[in-house]
Structure 1
Amino acid sequence: MTPPLVLRCAGRAVGHYVHPADLPARLSPRPYLHPVTTLRGTPVTEERPADHLHHLGVSIAVPDVAGRNFWGGRTFVRDQGPTELDNHGEQRHTGFKLRDPDGFVEDLVWTSAGTVLLRERRTVAVTPLTADAWALDLTFALTNPGGDEVSIGSPATNGRPGAGYGGFFWRAPKDPDGPPDVFTEGAEGEDAVHGRTAGWLALRGRDWTLVFAGATADTRRDPWFVRTGEYPGVGSSLAWAARLPVPAGGTVVRRVVTVVADGRLDRAAAAALVRKALS
């Protein structure tokens, strides 16, 4: 395994970017951020948990790119359900355009069965906000290098209602005290926020808070995929109800900025930090 790239904020290590060399194919090998911590050192990501071995900290993961699985685990097949298929893809690092302690710009290819389906430019930056909070700014641009359209789907577009996940995904750790709180500016609870759009969404654990914000118009139109009861995870969905076409030569761009804070933020504090992170 290549040594991880350590990301730092205010001189402190807050994230490790990993290029794994030992992941089995069914986990859809890909680079990811883990561990990510608050400024006080509290972990806020989980890697390969027992409940979902293919959850890898913070990653870009898509369950259906032209029928190939870049999420890991089983594939949802219409009228059949979750099914083990030999259809897993891999995100391969091709080079860094920039590599600094506070961020990087990376090129990758999304390949499966010897075919490059997508090329990606990934940009990650770390920004200090306060003595207790920092922001992870992640942009990914997916380009179709082929001569035919490629479409991005999800279990929802393949027949599983409410499972429109795929894109940016953050797996948080389980707290011994129980599921984390989740809320937006105007709603609270998994049922109230899952599958809905919101300017920002907060996940609050025992002594940490994550606040996710779409930073482009397209990203803000993506519904949030949220889990708290089964496991703690948040994603911004590329294909919630319909497949997302990527025409030949076309590019899909999304940007999510995540506030990583010590302590339990209320709505006002979460909103204030999001404004600062996006300013």
Structure 2
Amino acid sequence: MTPHDTLVLRVAGRPVGRYVTRPELPARLSPRPYLHPVTTLAGTAVTELGPADHTHHLGVGVAVPDVEGHNFWGGRTYVRDQGPTELDNHGAQRHTAFQLRDPDGFVEELRWVASGAELLRERRTVAATELTDTAWALDFTFSVTNVTAQALSIGSPATNGRPGAAYGGFFWRARKEAAAPDVFTGERAGEAEVHGARADWLAMAGADWTLVFAGATEETRGDPWFVRTAEYPGVGSSLASARRLPIAPGDTVVRRIVTVVADGRLGRDEAAALVRKAVSQ
């Protein structure tokens, strides 16, 4: 996974994330830019890259398992009435250029390519902002446009027949520790309760860190949360849960997730207050 081009995100002069634009990855991992490592202000890592349990999990980024049958997630593809299957259908997100590149953020252009053709063009905007002396926020927006002459649609294993597996979109593979992290929203707690739920924010708390995720647009808040804690620690926002997401030629889908990265274990009130501050900035 040797990077060809990287940049370092900084908050108050401290490095908090490394963004890799051109990783050397095999095709079955669906090569794509990612953020790793991401750390708290105290330096605690809160991401994982290519872990043994899911080698296609790449820190923080955008991953979609089904764009008109093309896999931009990595690994096996879920096939209806057949299950997870190794297919030669992997796409790649290719970095084109930075429109803006500063220590605290960037604007990037990408091409989503599969089978030799460009399907989607993406503009990705990422910014890192200090919240307190123990917390900062990662503001991540992606806009994908259908650049083909035909309608495209985004699917997931859930829309292809696997209940509870509506992953695809923004995804954060968190740090795996001896004990599974706690996960909660303002009203619910535990993986079984928060997975698949819609909530203004969702928190995941590890041994000495907390991540608080929030959808920052009306469309993003309408997406259910994809959550794993027992098998591995990961949180995503589901683009295609109950049905496929269509994108007509020339149309654009936009999603914005703001994530609080905090030292220590936050309670509900602390998490809610910090994420409100982060989204309003």
* Superposition TM-score, scaled by structure 2 size: 0.98
Unaligned segments of structure 1, at least 5 residues: none
By how many angstroms is 1:21 displaced? 3.6
> Residue 246 of structure 1 aligns with which residue?
247
Check if 1:100 corresponds to 2:102. yes
Farther-moved stretch of structure 1 (216-225 vs 2-11): 2-11
Aligned pair partner of 1:61 in 60, 63, 81: 63
CA offsets 1:186-216 (integer angstroms, 9 cap, x no match) = 0000000000100000000000000000000
Match for 2:47: what amino acid?
Answer: T
> Residue 184 of structure 1 aligns with which residue?
185
> Residue 84 of structure 2 aligns with which residue?
82
Tell me how far apart the structure 1 counterparts of residues 22 and 108 of structure 2 sit (CA, whole Å). Answer: 15
Check if 1:224 corresponds to 2:225. yes
> Residue 47 of structure 2 aligns with which residue?
45
> Residue 211 of structure 1 aligns with which residue?
212
CA offsets 1:195-249 (integer angstroms, 9 cap, x no match) = 0100000000000000000000000000000000000000000001100000010
Q: How many residues align?
A: 278
By how many angstroms is 1:81 displaced? 0.2
Tell me how far apart the structure 2 counterparts of residues 253 and 214 of structure 1 sit (CA, whole Å). Answer: 11
CA offsets 1:27-52 (integer angstroms, 9 cap, x no match) = 00000000000000000000000000
By how many angstroms is 1:19 displaced? 2.2
> Residue 31 of structure 1 aligns with which residue?
33
Tell me how far apart the structure 2 counterparts of residues 273 and 55 of structure 1 sit (CA, whole Å). Answer: 27
Question: What are the equivalent positions in structure 2 for 1:153-164 lying under 5 Å apart?
Answer: 153-164=155-166
Tell me how far apart the structure 1 counterparts of residues 279 and 24 of structure 2 sit (CA, whole Å). Answer: 36
CA offsets 1:32-91 (integer angstroms, 9 cap, x no match) = 000000000000000000000000000100000010000000000000000000000000
Match for 1:259: what amino acid?
Answer: V
Match for 1:198: what amino acid?
Answer: A
By how many angstroms is 1:140 displaced? 0.1
SS across alignment from 1:278: helix
| 8 A Cα contact 2:47 2:174, kept in partner | yes
By how many angstroms is 1:278 displaced? 1.1
> Residue 147 of structure 1 aligns with which residue?
149
| 8 A Cα contact 2:62 2:169, kept in partner | yes
For the aligned residue pairs, the C-alpha RMSD in angstroms reads 0.6
Among all aligned residue pairs of Structure 1 and Structure 2, give the percentage whose two residues are the same amino acid: 72
SS across alignment from 2:5: strand
Tell me how far apart the structure 2 counterparts of residues 57 and 258 of structure 1 sit (CA, whole Å). Answer: 14
Match for 2:203: what amino acid?
Answer: A
SS across alignment from 2:275: helix
Check if 1:196 corresponds to 2:230. no
Tell me how far apart the structure 2 counterparts of residues 113 and 130 of structure 1 sit (CA, whole Å). Answer: 46
> Residue 121 of structure 1 aligns with which residue?
123
Runs ≥4 in structure 1, deviation > 4 angstroms? none
By how many angstroms is 1:2 displaced? 2.3
CA offsets 1:146-168 (integer angstroms, 9 cap, x no match) = 11100000000000001000000
Unaligned segments of structure 2, at least 5 residues: none
| 8 A Cα contact 2:153 2:245, kept in partner | yes
| 8 A Cα contact 2:22 2:94, kept in partner | no
Tell me how far apart the structure 2 counterparts of residues 128 and 30 of structure 1 sit (CA, whole Å). Answer: 27
SS across alignment from 1:272: helix
Match for 1:6: what amino acid?
Answer: V
Match for 1:99: what amino acid?
Answer: R
| 8 A Cα contact 2:184 2:204, kept in partner | yes
By how many angstroms is 1:173 displaced? 1.0
> Residue 233 of structure 1 aligns with which residue?
234
| 8 A Cα contact 2:5 2:22, kept in partner | no
